[in-house]
Every structure is written in structure tokens, then in C-alpha cells.
Amino acid sequence: MVYLSSAIKVLFTAALLSETIAHPGHDVTAEVAQRNAALKNTKRDLTHCRDTVTKRDMQSKQQKRRQAAIETARAKRGLSQKRRFHTLRTRNLTSVTDTSHFSNLTVSPSTPGVEEIIFSNTSCILAAEGEVGPFWVEGEYVRSNITETQPGIPVTIDAQFINVNTCEPIPELMWDLWHCNATGVYGGVIGSGNGDSDDLGNLNDTFLRGLQPTDEDGVAQFESIFPGHYAGRATHMHVLAHINGTTFENGTYMGGQIPYIGQLFFDQDLISEVNTFSPYVENTIDIVANVDDRVVASETETGADPIFNYVLLGDTVDQGLFVWIEMGVDLTADYVDGATAAAELTSDGGVEVTTTTTTGGNSTNGTAPSGAPSGTAVMGKRSVFSLW
């Protein structure tokens, strides 16, 4: 189980962390070394895919698809339709956090040259690989609506997964998504810093967690609520991608390769606006801005943009949002040893994972795992790893 230090706002180095944080049975040093080694070789963005993607008309197809999905989301909620698109230009922490991801570009799929307008400067739109964090629960349900009874602003979350080596969409990828509720608590895990740590019943909770397979365009969607925030972190959602795992008869999924782990974020002004509505407004925990968040910094280090694009479904934020992002995945990578679950959902309910696997010691010297990606892009050194 994960116990968060009271010094939660301190940034720990990997070495420091493994020595000082009470985290029984779990030494993250090996994970950190392995992950750093693997990430060093991973292609970091989709710039090299630009020509391929443009030629294949993928982007305009995706824009049309997204527009249809937005229309569906509006129709479901009885809201009127409007047309809005977006373009992106991102490169570093400042440019990412200074860029509005609000989509109010007034073009439609039939606008002449729409592909050029929409795509020409969107070649760097994926989220970089990030950290799994301490609250991943393995064995959750395959389902698109993960809301359950959690109150909050409804959000339709849409992502496309692109193979960074072939620039093709990845079908049959299993997208694992989890995030905290409007007041900053994760279901399914117990830990200080996560709501009432004496509430053992939370282990059985499955709210705001689930998996969805991608379709032939590498796309999957979830229905959820806008996340709240908790101490020490900017508002975010967690993503983990599986391939070749097993969907069981009871509707849960386990196993397989994990070629991608990441965290996704939201524009600061959107978060501020959301925080004016109940129940978000009742959360008194200090807000960490994107520019001050360690994971935002590390994910933007090499030019990726891990912030969701969005449109309002209605006229105001509280009527709902449609958010989307594209993620570049290296299918030859496997972060299974770095993906440490806090708990596992079983037929006996949620069970804490007290010991975790490492690769038997060989990863501690920083050697990339077998099957580690080869590539030419280099990312900055990641000396910091986090428990939350």
C-alpha cells in the first residue's frame, strides 16, 4: 500500500525517495532507472509523422469524426449544436501552459483548405509518457461511462492513439483511464492524502476508473466528470495503454504489454472556471497550477502537449465539455515493470497490492528493458519520481 509522506509538496529525487518514504515492499529505484533508460530512446512527438498523416487525410478525417462525436454529446444532453474547431502550436512548458486549448476556431469540415488550417501546425500534439502515480488499480471494468454516482461537470473524453513508428492509428489498444473525483479523492485505493484513509470501504469503489478499446481509427471515448484536485498536484487524469491483455467474462481486463503511461491536463483558466461550481468550489485544498506541476514540466520537456483540447457543449462550462487529445505510442516499449498498481479489483472486491514486481535487479543499473524502443529523439533527464 502507498502511504504518502506529510511532506507531500516536496519534490523528491528518486534516490531520496526510495530511502525515505514509507512504502512497504516497493522500491521505486529500479522503476525509475528503467523508465529513464527506456524513455531516453523513445520518439517524443509526432513531428516526423506529419507528412504521412497529412497525405493520408487522417487529420481531416479525425476532425470530422470529432465533430460528429461532439454533436452526439450535445444531442445526448439536449444542447444546441455549434461548430468549433481548434489548432495547436506547442513546444515547451511556457508555450503549452500559455496556449489556450479552448477551441473556437470557426471552420467546418467543408471549409476550403480545412486540412491545412487545422493540421498544418498540429504536428506536436501528443502527450509524452509520464508517471503511473500511486493510484492505479489493476483489473477494472471495460466500460465507457465511469461516472457512477460522482457529482461534477460532465465530460466526454476522446483520444486517438498513434503509433510513433508507423504514424498509423493503433486499433485494439486498451485505454485505461482513472482520475480523482470533484473533491480530489480516488476510488479503489486507501492512502493518506486520498480522502479519509480510515474508510476501508473505498477499496471496493470503482468510480472514475475504467477501460475502453480503441476502434480501427485508434480512437476511444469515455464519459466522466471533470476531475478535482488534491494536495501537491495540478488537476489531471491518468492514462495507461495495454495491448494483448485479457478481457474476462466478468467484464474486467488484466495483463498484456504496457507501451504507454501518461498524465493529461487541462487549461488553467478552464480549471479556474470549473472551480467556481459546486462541488468543486467546496474543495479547499491549495491549487497547484500547471506551470508549477512537476509532471506537466517533465511531459512538456521535449515539446509534447499533454493538455486536453476542449469545447463547451453548451454555453457555460457547467453544461459539459468535450475534451480530446492524441497520444503517440511506441508499441515496442513495455513499461509493465514500471506500472505499479496500488490495488487490484478482484471477485473479492478491491485488494491492496503490498509488494510489487521489479525486474529481478537487472533494471537497477538503468539498462532499458528488453523490447525497449529504439529511436533517435532524446529527452531530458528525469531525476524526479513521485509517489502521487
**Binding-site ranges for ligand NAG (CB under 6 A):** 76, 91-92, 94-95, 100, 102, 104, 116-117, 120-121, 139, 145, 147, 150-151, 172-173, 181-183, 185, 195, 200-204, 223, 243-244, 248, 250, 252, 279, 345-349, 359-360, 362, 365, 367
**Cα–chain-centroid distance for residue 8?**
21
Pairing of strands 154-163, 321-329: parallel
Phi, psi of 295 (to 5 degrees): -75, -40
If the CB atoms of residues 60 and 183 are measured against ligand NAG, the closer one turns out to be 183
Min dist. Cβ of residue 226 to ligand NAG (A) = 11
Min dist. Cβ of residue 283 to ligand NAG (A) = 8
Min dist. Cβ of residue 11 to ligand NAG (A) = 19
Min dist. Cβ of residue 203 to ligand NAG (A) = 6
If the CB atoms of residues 52 and 283 are measured against ligand NAG, the closer one turns out to be 283
Strand partners, 163: 329
371/363 Cα distance (integer angstroms)? 13
If the CB atoms of residues 67 and 252 are measured against ligand NAG, the closer one turns out to be 252
Min dist. Cβ of residue 177 to ligand NAG (A) = 14
If the CB atoms of residues 12 and 26 are measured against ligand NAG, the closer one turns out to be 26
Min dist. Cβ of residue 360 to ligand NAG (A) = 3
346/340 Cα distance (integer angstroms)? 16
376/18 Cα distance (integer angstroms)? 30
Alpha helices, DSSP H, located in the chain: 14-20, 29-40, 50-55, 58-76, 93-98, 114-119, 268-274, 294-300
If the CB atoms of residues 310 and 385 are measured against ligand NAG, the closer one turns out to be 310
For ligand NAG, the nearest residue by Cβ is 349
If the CB atoms of residues 21 and 223 are measured against ligand NAG, the closer one turns out to be 223
If the CB atoms of residues 52 and 364 are measured against ligand NAG, the closer one turns out to be 364
Picking from 91, 169, 131, the residue whose alpha carbon sits closest to that of residue 386 is 131
185: left (phi over 0), alpha (psi -120 to 50) or beta: beta
Gyration radius of the chain over CA positions:
20
Min dist. Cβ of residue 140 to ligand NAG (A) = 8
Within 10 angstroms of residue 383's Cβ, the number of other Cβ atoms is 14
C-alpha cell at 161: 492513439
